[in-house]
Chains A and B, each alone.
Chain A
Amino acid sequence: MSEREAVAGSEASHRLIRRVLRGGLLVGVTLMVAGLAIDIAMGTSISVPMPLASFLDTGSIGDRTMALGVLSLALTPVVRVAALVLVWRREKDTPFVAVGLAVLVILVVGMLAGRA
């Protein structure tokens, strides 16, 4: 592959991943800022644990909004790995498709282990 093709491929994949990261960051930060503002405006001063299984039923509206923001932010790296797998598949870069899939499998196993 020529230098020109390598540059074009890098720029396209980096642009896509940058969009994924900026999108996740925008959603996460917006929800976190909104939740924090709601908590301050409503005078909520106690931070409570927010278990994943029941966070939508726990705490104030501000806390729930902030927890949703944290969750959005936490999911961004997972979406990033999935997006990279698709990019490398499109580029027919098979060894790195396998690498990305392996990381996704490890992530899912880790999440399931957390629930056990």
Chain B
Amino acid sequence: MVAPSLLDLLLLILLGLGAGWLGATVGIGGGVVIVPALVIVFGIDIKVAVAASLVAVIATSTTAGSVYLGRGITNMRLGMTLEIATTVGGMTGGLVAAFVPSNVIAALFATVVAISAGVLLWHAANPPVRTVQAPTNGTVGWEDPGALSGAYFDHARGGMVHYRARRIGLGSAVSLLAGSVSGMLGVGGGFLKVPAMNVLMDVPVRVAAASNFMIGVTAAASVFIYFERGFVEPLVAVPVALGVVGGSLIATMMAGTTSAPKVKRILALVLAAVAIEMALRAFGVGVGV
């Protein structure tokens, strides 16, 4: 049970604003920021924090999706295909978490995230060469029916970028891992899926981030469990969610104005911070959750 003051409610909204901006900018749900902040700064129980974070993940993905869908960047077939593995992983992770020591989970998390950050930084420094064509008749982009391919208009490069997702099996395997980590730690999983789609599946980072709005589906499945068990506390979850909606809207209005390498570097920075926090937690120096 939590008794937030008006100042606390304002700070919770501000936390949501920051997490929402970050989530929509780099394609993660914001949970990696919200859970530690709620536990460390506000002293909120970890399960209540995770429940609030899951609501925030849904808010981020719904807001970002409602904006990105108008820009021809999103590939819903790609997002849905990976969602099969992610939701299965989410359920599996939730079950496995009960039998694995927390410090082992945290160490695993830190390792996976640190590797992802390194790979992403390397990729930001060595971007793949893509063919850019002039847009026709004001087209902003599309996804091809019956395939995991499409095209989008890249503002930074001034032309249409065509892509085709490759290595679906490998991408699904990482999605399974992302879902498992999500189920174990209560974060969105986009911090693994977006780099995987970009680096392993050869999907442009902007398409990967936009298509990853499907993580709301995974979070929705989890949040019903938390709701069922009484961990959703409205005066915690709602201010954060409202802030997240505002932050996501600001970020999606700014999308396309930053270059892909810059987005990748922001994501790598976030991943490095998460890796350090999780490593500290694994060795008992962290936030004590």
Contact = CB atoms under 8 A, between A and B. Distances in A.
Contacts, number: 206
Given A70-B241, A106-B91, A110-B221, A24 B234 contact: no
B181 interface: no
B83 interface: yes
B47 to A, nearest CB: 10
Give the bracket for the number of chain A residues in contact with chain B: 35 or more
Task: Tell me what chain B mostly uses at the interface: helix, strand, loop, or mixed.
Answer: helix
Interface string B143-176: 1111000100000000000000000000000000
A62 B245 CA distance: 20
Contact of B62 (A39, A47, A73): A73
B233 A103 contact: no
Task: Tell me what chain A mostly uses at the interface: helix, strand, loop, or mixed.
Answer: helix
Interface of A: 1, 3, 6-7, 9-11, 13-15, 17-18, 21-22, 24-25, 28-29, 32-33, 35-36, 39-40, 44-53, 55, 59, 62-63, 66-67, 69-71, 73-78, 80-81, 84, 91, 93, 95-96, 99-100, 102-103, 106-107, 109-111, 113-115
A100 B245 CA distance: 26
A47 B2 contact: yes
B70 interface: yes
Contacts of A49: 1, 230-233
B30 interface: no
